[in-house]
Amino acid sequence: MKKIAELYKGKAKSVYTTDDADKLVMVYRNDTSAFDGGKLAKLDRKGMINNKTNAFIMEKLAAAGIPTHMEQLISDTESLVKKLDMIPVECVVRNIAAGSICRRLGVTEGLDLSPPTFELFLKNDALHDPMINEYHIRSFGWATDAEVEQMKELTFRVNDVLKKLFADIGILLVDYKLEFGRYHGRIVLGDEFTADGCRLWDAQTRKKLDKDRFRQDLGGVVEAYEEVAQRLGVNLN
C-alpha cells in the first residue's frame, strides 16, 4: 500500500492517504508530547515500540470481538488502518486514581476505583482537552446518543480484556484513553493503545511503566515502554 499525501500530522503520529479511499497509513514517530503539546521530546525507538505494541493489543481486542481500525503492520513504524470519521471525544476508564482525577477531586494517587469510573474529554489541545458530559456531546452534535452508548460499552469491554491481559504479566492497568470513529455507519476503535495513552504500573512495586515517566521526568521512558512490550511478548525485532 503506497502513501500518497500527508492527511494529518499529529503530535506523535502522521497519517497518510493511500490508493484505497478507505485506508490510511499511520506512521508512529519518535515525537513524544505531554500536557497537550506543552512538553515535547524525541525518544529514540519509541515510534517502533508503540507501532508494534499497538498492533499486538489491537489484535487481542479484535479477537475479543471489538471492532478496530487496524488492518496490518506494514513496517517497523507504519500500520495500515481503516480511515475513520473520527469523533472528537476521548473516552477514559479509570481502575485506579491517578493524574487529573486526583487534582480535580482531591483523591490520593493509587486509590482503587471500584467499580471503575468513566469520563469523557473533548479532543482539543488549545482548550487542554476539557472534561465534558453526554449532554455536551448531544447539544454540540459531536455524536449521537446511540454512538455515545456504543463508545462507552466498547471502552468498558476493552477494560475487561486488557485488565486481564496486563494482570497476567504482573501489570496494573490504571487508566486509559480511547478514541473512536465511524466507518460505513459503524463505531470502530481508532487511534492507538500504547503506553503513551494509558497508565501501567508494575503490580508488585507500582513502578510506573507509561508516559508518566516522561511527564514527571522520571527517566527510562523508552526502557519502560520496551519492558511492557517484552512482558506482553511483542516481537520488537
- In the complex, which residues of this chain contact ligand TMP (CB under 6 A)? 90, 92, 99-100, 121, 129, 175-177, 197-199
d(CA 29, CA 22): 23
d(CA 116, CA 91): 13
Interface with ligand ASP includes 35 (CB under 6 A)?
yes
Measured from the CB atom, is 56 or 214 closer to ligand TMP? 214
Interface with ligand ASP includes 123 (CB under 6 A)?
no
Q: Identity (one letter) of the amino acid at 184?
A: H
Query: C-beta of 65: minimal distance to ligand ASP in Å?
Result: 27
Q: Which residue minimizes CB distance to ligand ADP? A: 10
Residue 83 binds which entry of ligand TMP, ligand ADP, ligand ASP, none, CB below 5-8 Å type-dependent: ligand ADP
Q: Identity (one letter) of the amino acid at 152?
A: K
13 burial (CB, 10 Å; 0-12 / 13-18 / 19+) is buried
Beta-carbon count within 10 A of 87 CB: 21
Interface with ligand ADP includes 179 (CB under 6 A)?
yes
Which residue carries 493509587 as its cell?
110
Residue 17 binds which entry of ligand ASP, ligand TMP, ligand ADP, none, CB below 5-8 Å type-dependent: none
Q: Which three cell numbers stand for residue 184?
A: 460505513
Pick the stretch among 7-15, 48-56, 100-108, 158-166 that binds ligand ADP (CB under 6 A): 7-15
- Restricted to residues 191-210, the positions that interact with ligand ASP (CB under 6 A) are none
Q: In this structure, is the dihedral angle defined by the CA atoms of residues 10, 101, 149 and 128, taken in order, positive or negative?
A: negative
Interface with ligand ASP includes 182 (CB under 6 A)?
no
